[in-house]
Amino acid sequence: MDSKRVLDEDAYVRGGEAQTAVKILVVGHFAVGKTTFIGTISEIPPLSTEEDMTRVAEAVDDLKGVRSKTTTTVAMDFGRLTISDHVVLYLFGTPGQQRFIQIWEDMARGALGALVLVDPERLADSFAVIDLIEQYGLSYAIAVNRFDHTPERTEAALREALDLLPDTPVVVMDARDENSSAQALITLVRYLQERAALEHA
């Protein structure tokens, strides 16, 4: 995936009877790195709805700790990642602001699971996100997006702060790094496979 080909619009849908398409949500609070994550990991040019932030939006959205942010997702991000000859992941990134909650509900339909991106310096902002994903009945993994110069937190501290179940995967990653982002997705997919095997046992 080092060299991303320039593809036309037909490439956003993958054909072939032998492949299983898996819908995955990439969720998180405002400015946690969802668009960056999908742009880093997608094997196709990602579909993005990033727009410049207006002064009106700045008055509504909490920019504490993210003053350098100048754009925001207003509908969704979309990318694709083939993980084997038979399985391809379709990644749907949700907007992080509360005013777009209705979009989350629509996008959750048909999703197999969710990767929840978390900023270790703004853990409280993730509570509402996790509540929504649980409300939709989706299995999920936590991906802690380490920003520059943020102090490390132990997994035990993160689990306690986010009130996670013991089997919920937690992985530390950098959304700007392809290998790190891929490992986060692999962790989620393995977890979903394990849960599916238990349900069918």
Q: What is the pLDDT of residue 50?
A: 55
The string of pLDDT tens digits covering residues 56-89 is 445 444 545 554 544 444 458 999 999 888 889 9
Name the fold adopted by 19-199: Rossmann fold (3.40.50)
Domain ranges of the chain: 19-199
* Residues 95-127 pLDDT 10s: 865 666 777 788 899 999 999 999 999 999 999
**Burial bucket for residue 30 (CB in 10 Å: 0-12, 13-18, 19+):** buried
Q: What does the pLDDT look like over 139-156, one tens digit per residue?
A: 999 999 987 777 788 999
Helices 127-135 and 101-108: crossing angle, nearest 10°?
Answer: 40
- CB neighbours of residue 70 within 10 Å: 9
Q: Looking at residues 38-56, what average pLDDT do you find? A: 72
Q: Do the beta carbons of residue 183 and residue 157 sit within 8 Å? A: no
Q: 3-state secondary structure string, the chain?
A: CCCCCCCCHHHHCCCCCCCEEEEEEEEECCCCCHHHHHHHHCCCCCEEEEEECCHHHHHHCCCCCCCCCCEEEEEEEEEEEECCCCEEEEEEECCCCHHHHHHHHHHHCCCCEEEEEECCCCHHHHHHHHHHHHHCCCEEEEEEECCCCCCCCCHHHHHHHHCCCCCCCEEEECCCCHHHHHHHHHHHHHHHHHHHHHHCC
- Report whether 139 contacts 192 (CB < 8 A): yes
Residue with the bigger pLDDT between 97 and 19: it is 19
Measured CA to CA, the distance from residue 201 to residue 196 in angstroms comes to 9
